[in-house]
Structure 1
Amino acid sequence: MGVKLVDLTQEIYQGMPVFPLHQKTMIFPNISHEESEKQIGFGFATNNLLINEHGPTHSDATYEYDPQGKYIDEMPLEYFYGPAICLDLSRVSPERFITRQDLEEALRRSNQHLDKGDIVLLYTGHYNRSYGTEKWLTTYTGLDYSAAKWLADSGVINIGIDAPAIDHPEDPKFSGHLVCREYGITNTENLCNLDKIAGMRFLYFGLPLRIRKGTGSPVRAVAVFIE
């Protein structure tokens, strides 16, 4: 018996795409091997990061969309790891919303089931099609209200997606986040490699940094399989 890990995390780099409202990712040298050698007699190299909490692969604190919600350092870690499934929604066109019927059909095709406390990742194919292009931040599918509510009513505690947001970019109500606010659950955005785990059940880890009063946090998202 062995353990297989599938990395679901996007690379963090200067120039990576982020929403216009967010701080652009900047990475710059703090000190070089040569500089530290001169100062302390041993070579160390470190970089500095300037990054938005919601820039790369990340999870939201409920405070982000609810002033009465919890900051990321206050949220139980159980929101960010546990049993999970990945539903294949790649048939859904970027021009339309993901509906409850789409979710139910994807669940049937997967021969899986939903349990209370599950984490559900949505494979839309957007990362594979559009990452690095102008369409990445503008043209992708997302949950309508009934679909997001169905997941929450099923006991899902974390909704993940391989797109910049769980909402459709043309949704003025931000339905996915609205449901997360109503149910006090989180979501994880900017995932990748979901094509490698579509239709499967696995153990998910996407632990946030312990940022005091954080509205969200970058995560290292992985799917864990016992073989």
Structure 2
Amino acid sequence: MIEIIDLSQEIYEGMPVFKNLPQVKIGIHNSHEEWNGERNTKTRTPAVHKLELGEHTGTHVDAINHMAIEHKDKSIDKMPLSMFYTEGICLDFSHKKLRELIEAFEIEEACKKAEVEIKAGDTVLLYTDHYRRHFASENWAKGPGVSASCARWLGEKEIAAFGVETMSPGVSGVSNREVHHICGELNFTHYENMVNLHQLVGRGRFRFVGLPLKIRGGTGSPVRAVAIFENK
């Protein structure tokens, strides 16, 4: 029996986006009434929607070219698919407060508590319960995040990526910019705006899938991230 847990936010018009990134707009481009030749109808049943959104909308993964200008040629379409199809673990940091940093020694302690280890090529998900507590509230942009030294420690473990529930992997104005630079330097990435991580805590290793759209030159992409457990 296979259990698939959805880790992605719903995409909808008016949803929260990071700072000055593009707002999500969704409209009816073609209706079934129009396709059926009906005129002056009071209703328009969607046949095709028009989407306007940024690459970094909702649950998404960052491309290496997003991290810093020196990585401009490492776009999302050029990143190996193996980075987005990995083994994964989820660690419990639900005790963290707003804008609090997560340090490397705390990840080591969380691994010991969960009886898991970080392996090369893993995706490491950090559960803070920030989504359920603060999504779309005044504190949504004030989540906890990894410190710069923690990001470097993770990168030196040769992981594929780490993932967070918040809109940024580091704490905005404290570590976030440097965390991005370190990801670019060490050639690993991160997922943002993840959900349902509470369903993964304490369950050991799982298959993680977070495939991006193949956007030519893209700096990132929305993903339908999932965790897969194979229950024998």
Instruction: Compute the TM-score of the two structures, normalised by the length of structure 2.
Output: 0.92
Give deviations 1:135-162, integer Å, cap 9, x for gaps.
Answer: 112x111111121111111121111101
Count of aligned residue pairs for this structure pair: 222
Structure 2 matches for 1:116-135, cutoff 5 A? 116-135=120-139
CA distance in 2, matches of 1:225, 1:52: 31
Structure 2 residue identity aligned to 1:18: V
**Residue segments in structure 1 that go unaligned for 5+ positions in a row:** none
Deviation at 1:173, TM superposition (A): 5.9
Residue 83 of structure 1 is matched in structure 2 by 87
Q: Is the 8 A contact 1:141 1:169 kept in 2?
A: no
Larger CA deviation: 159-168 vs 148-157: 148-157
CA distance in 2, matches of 1:75, 1:154: 19
Deviation at 1:65, TM superposition (A): 1.3
Deviation at 1:13, TM superposition (A): 0.1
Q: Is the 8 A contact 2:206 2:228 kept in 1?
A: yes
In percent, how many aligned pairs have the same letter? 39
Structure 2 matches for 1:147-166, cutoff 5 A? 147-166=150-169
Residue 109 of structure 1 is matched in structure 2 by 113
CA RMSD of aligned residues (A): 1.5
CA distance in 2, matches of 1:67, 1:78: 24
Equivalent position SS for 2:77 = coil
Q: Is the 8 A contact 2:24 2:52 kept in 1?
A: yes
Instruction: Compute the TM-score of the two structures, normalised by the length of structure 1.
Output: 0.93
Residue 46 of structure 1 is matched in structure 2 by 48
CA distance in 2, matches of 1:51, 1:189: 16
Q: Is the 8 A contact 2:68 2:180 kept in 1?
A: no
Deviation at 1:92, TM superposition (A): 1.8
